[in-house]
Amino acid sequence: MNWLDDGALFNQISAFLSEDLGRGDITTQATVTRNSRARGRFLAKEPLVVAGLEAAEAVFGALDSQQQLEAFVSDGDEVEAGKVIARANGFADVLLSGERVALNLLQRLSGIATLTRQFVRAIEGTGAQIVDTRKTTPGLRMLVKYAVQAGGGRNHRFGLDDGVLIKDNHIALAGGVGAAVERAKREVGHLHKIEVEVSTDKDLREAVSSGADILLLDNLTPEETARFVGLARELSTNVLLESSGGIRLENVRAYAEAGVDLISVGALTHSARAMDISFKIQAGS
């Protein structure tokens, strides 16, 4: 896991466990003999791209610092239905009490990685790249963006401090594309590029002439997109182009073929369903 350092991951996982455990797992405490041992296996019940193994291991590790996960695949791997993804031998109560949180993470992150992989496949061979958005579940951004990477996508901004993206709302309030870009270039640090949404030819010309580095083409058809790409390429050899809005598996290739560099897809993170993964426990070590 790239950005999330171990300490931050541990703190986040501990909060997730605390949410689920409250004052303790009363069922397990009441029914399972303390210190008895068990084996658990994570099993893919459908084809999927794995993501979240480290997070799942951290769940058990937060309950018992000795508990590890033996993984048979790596994050980013595609597996078939029936594949045992990982297994854990340990204390029965640790496996039982951590099961739900571990599955909640593994199922969701694998869901995002799997959907991302489908989008990436759909545009293979074009020069475009699939990127995510900030449409992530509150509280899970780092993990979710990591799952997009595991699926083969790339990450757009991690937060509002992580890049300048001037959208329609900003433009309206700033008094036009050119004014907004110029203000941004003057105000933000010299290490930041400027991306701006353009919706008319005039906007596009203003954006390029005021020095925008990236143009966002939002909610256009592939045909309109292609026209804007052509116009932009005439005006600048450096400017990057990004499509967003209304992009689905069915039409993503058309956008890629329209010549944009980046295609951002909110659905990767706001509407991926959880993958069907089970965790089966049996007694013994």
Could you confirm whether 261 is annotated as catalytic? no
Beta bridge partners of 43: 84, 278
Beta bridge partners of 164: 194
Per-residue binding letters, 8-37, with a second copy (x by CB under 8 A): ----x-xxx--xxxxxxxxxxxxxxx--x-
Residue whose CB is less far from a second copy, 181 or 252: 181
Residues 251-270 binding a second copy (CB under 8 A) are 261-262, 270
Residue whose CB is less far from a second copy, 180 or 217: 180
The long-range contacts involving 184-193, CB below 8 angstroms and separated by at least 24 positions, are 185/210, 185/211, 188/164, 192/163, 192/164, 193/163, 193/164
Cα 241 from Cα 57, distance rounded (Å): 39
Cα 130 from Cα 138, distance rounded (Å): 22
Residues 155-184 binding a second copy (CB under 8 A) are 155-167, 169-174, 180, 183-184
Find the catalytic residue in 39, 87, 134, 135. Answer: 135
Contact call for residue 139 and a second copy (CB under 8 A)? yes
Residues 186-225 binding a second copy (CB under 8 A) are 186-193, 195, 213-214
Residues 67-126 binding a second copy (CB under 8 A) are 92, 96-97, 99-101, 103-105, 107-108
Could you confirm whether 167 is annotated as catalytic? yes
Cα 285 from Cα 279, distance rounded (Å): 16
Q: How many CB atoms lie within 10 A of CB 185?
A: 17
Residue whose CB is less far from a second copy, 155 or 231: 155
Could you confirm whether 202 is annotated as catalytic? no
Burial of 234 (0-12, 13-18, 19+ CB in 10 A): exposed
Catalytic residues: 100, 135, 167, 197, 218
